[in-house]
Chains A and B, each alone.
Chain A
Amino acid sequence: MRTSPPTSWAARVGRFSFRVYCALVLLFLAAPVVIVVPLAFSSADFLRFPPPSYSLRWFNNFFSRRDWMEAAANSFKIGFLTAGLATVLGTAAAYGLVRGRSKRKEALYAFFISPMIVPNIVFALALYYLFSRLRMVGNMWSLVLGHTVLALPPVIIVLSASLQSVDYALEQAAMIHGARRLRAFFEVTLPLILPGMVTAALFAFLVSFDDLLIALFLSGSRAVTLPKRMWDGVRLEIDPTVAAVALLVMLLPTVILVMAALLRKRAMGRGGEKATP
């Protein structure tokens, strides 16, 4: 979109170098992600780039060792539980925020979002204090409860947007024509925010799956998660298995993003927005 007047030669050079600059920055953003791919297939014993040769050695290692597999299983379990809990709590919260008539909405919204801002290390420490008192270190549920707090912000953000696109008149129409409040919610609102809920759940899962700091403190020995195991792998042994795991872990969010995008397309098509006459 051109808003500037016709250019001189100097201006054109300027614009060109500007574009190059931006391209470099974007490259800077994308490059590291790409690096992991050849690395995961490297046959070398340590971090060496470019890899001397390629092999599936580290993938084998990952799938065959019990500690890696247990960590992966834990991460998935905790992730699913977090997704479930956060989505239920978050949907209720979003509904109260969007449909409520309180003057404190902005403040409440900021409060619910704040776990994103509080430094993870501080929160992890606080949870460690709480759960060590309750003797729940190494218990999977302490991780679920902690991750849920972190997962609530993205869930609420996504669901607020989703709810706002559903006209309140739709619920009113249901109520005036005979449906109780709760019935109206399940018949009308819920089906329309379902894509949003699934997206929110996916993001919640991701937040839990990627968390390191809370796991660092609360994993103990019985609830080791994948990031915790990777962390040990990087600090204690220079184990290239981490590269293989990293690649697999990277695929997950990409898949989730694609699913979320597809869901959004479907939601648009179903006309979940306010009815336009």
Chain B
Amino acid sequence: MTAPAQPRHATGATVRLTNIHQRFGDVVAVRDVNLEVQAGEFLTLLGPSGSGKTTTLNIIAGFLEPMTGEVYINEEPATFKAPHLRNIGMVFQNYALWPHMTVFQNVAFPLRMRRESRADIRKRVEETLAMVRLQGLETRLPRQLSGGQQQRVALARALVFSPALLLMDEPLGALDKKLREQMQLEIKHLQKTLGITVIYVTHDQEEALFMSDRVAVTNAGTIVQIGTPVDLYNRPADRFVADFIGESNFLSGKVQSVDATSSCRLVTDGGSVFQGMLGHPAQPGDAVVAAIRPEKIRLQQTGGPSAEENTSQGSIVEVIYLGDWVKYRIELTSGETIVVKVPDRSGDEVHRVGSHALLAIAPRDVMVYHE
């Protein structure tokens, strides 16, 4: 696992969660969560709805006291500290801008709570609004702003008092695609410039991979894997992560043999034999599933297979043209269906339905997990 890159100005807070457990009635929302966030890091909690990420965020913010476990901010115990004493900025899902206050009043609020002088407040609000490119809108009311503008007011409000930690709960969910991508860039840039620690919650894996230094994937209340986007994408820890992040083909089969370096040989239900990497320990005979990313499969038309690569063949049954990629659905001779994704480079022909395909897959791109 590679260490996260150190930011230039390390003024962010560290956050540490130990053994956090939270239950609502019969439902366990957060189960044995342990997490360490470095100073200045951009960490994303990524998972499907109901996986406990928002609950965890609420615990860090102090809106919820966990049933067991502790929260440390900058190594000081914060589990029972009231929210207003934690010096955290937060951007909510629906922005939570106070409708009866102007933009200026919204952004000035945290400074007012900290009893800054009028002159200071004015200066810092204007600076922060300029930072999010909203100068000139101070006297507007939230309902007079567009979604993107409201989002930036929420951001300004959370940053105006220079907190060391910023929490963001799916802040971009309601924006359209172009705006969302633009905001992702702006937020990332802001974070690196200010050097603050950000804990970000989202269910959009592309967003998570793009913005984060590290991603913690959550499922059913636990963190199933935490690592850099590269690690997560190429070395998913289990089937869930392989499925949740990016796309994967899944082929069921049985382990035939295992060797010391965690590489194994497996036979799929259809009879194909693959050499792959085990995601977790397994014995010969175990029922497993092989996960293969579509873009890691090479069509041999571009060159013959090397000695280590797995080979397979089949016929193309569907062609899906996506502009930058072409997807081929291929029915293998062993009966299973597999999807291959190939970039559309000019000069390559787009293969037609019915034509024969020869496939090559490197063993390290075949991730094997228990069924």
Contacts and interface: CB of A to CB of B under 8 A. Distances in A.
B109 A275 contact: no
Interface in A164-190: 167, 169-170, 172-181, 183, 187-188
Interface string B70-93: 000000000000111010111011
Interface stretch (B150-158, B201-209, B280-288, B348-356): B150-158
B190 interface: no
A100 interface: no
Interface stretch (A112-120, A208-216, A266-274): A266-274
B175 A177 contact: no
Nearest to B141: A271
Nearest to A191: B100
17 contacts: A167-B94, A172-B92, A173-B96, A176-B83, A176-B167, A177-B90, A177-B110, A177-B158, A177-B161, A178-B109, A179-B113, A180-B82, A272-B99, A274-B94, A275-B150, A277-B94, A277-B150
A271 to B, nearest CB: 4
A204 interface: no
A271 B143 contact: yes
Nearest to A272: B99
B7 interface: no
Nearest to A177: B110
A177 B162 CA distance: 11
B175 A277 contact: yes
A277 B147 contact: yes
A192 interface: yes
Interface of B: 61-63, 82-84, 86, 88-90, 92-100, 109-110, 113-114, 141-143, 147, 150-151, 157-158, 161, 167, 174-175
A179 B161 CA distance: 13
Given A173-B98, A272-B100, A274-B94, 13 more contacts: A169-B94, A175-B63, A176-B88, A176-B89, A177-B90, A177-B158, A178-B114, A181-B82, A270-B99, A271-B141, A275-B94, A275-B96, A275-B97
A192 B84 CA distance: 21
Nearest to B87: A178
Interface string A242-277: 000000000000000000000000000011101111
Contacts of B62: 176
B100 A176 contact: no
B124 to A, nearest CB: 14
B161 A178 contact: yes
Contact of B90 (A173, A275, A276, A277): A173
Interface of A: 167, 169-170, 172-181, 183, 187-188, 191-192, 270-272, 274-277
Nearest to A170: B96
Given A178-B161, A191-B100, A277-B175, A172 B95 contact: no
B100 A192 contact: yes
Contact of B109 (A174, A191, A274): A174
B161 to A, nearest CB: 7
B157 A177 contact: yes
Contacts of B94: 167, 169, 274-277
Contact of A169 (B84, B96, B110, B175): B96
Given A175-B83, A178-B84, A192-B100, A275 B113 contact: no
Contact of A167 (B61, B84, B96): B96
Contacts of A178: 84, 109-110, 113-114, 161
Nearest to B113: A178
A178 B87 CA distance: 7
Nearest to B100: A191
A271 B142 contact: yes
Contacts of B61: 172, 176
Contacts of A174: 98, 109
Nearest to A269: B143
A102 to B, nearest CB: 12
| 3 tightest A-B CB contacts, nearest first | A178-B113, A277-B174, A169-B96
A122 to B, nearest CB: 39
Contacts of A179: 84, 109, 113
Contacts of B96: 167, 169-170, 172-173, 275
Contacts of A277: 94-95, 147, 150-151, 174-175
B259 to A, nearest CB: 52
Contacts of B97: 173, 275
Nearest to B24: A101
Contact of B63 (A172, A180, A191): A172
B86 A275 contact: no
Contacts of A188: 98
Nearest to B58: A172
Contacts of B98: 170, 173-174, 187-188
Contacts of A181: 82
Nearest to A276: B94
B139 to A, nearest CB: 16
A268 to B, nearest CB: 11
Nearest to A166: B99
Contacts of B100: 191-192, 270, 272
A181 to B, nearest CB: 8
A275 B171 CA distance: 13
Given A176-B62, A177-B113, A275 B89 contact: no
The residue among B62, B100, B174 with the most chain A CB atoms within 10 A of its own CB is: B100
Contacts of B90: 172-173, 176-177
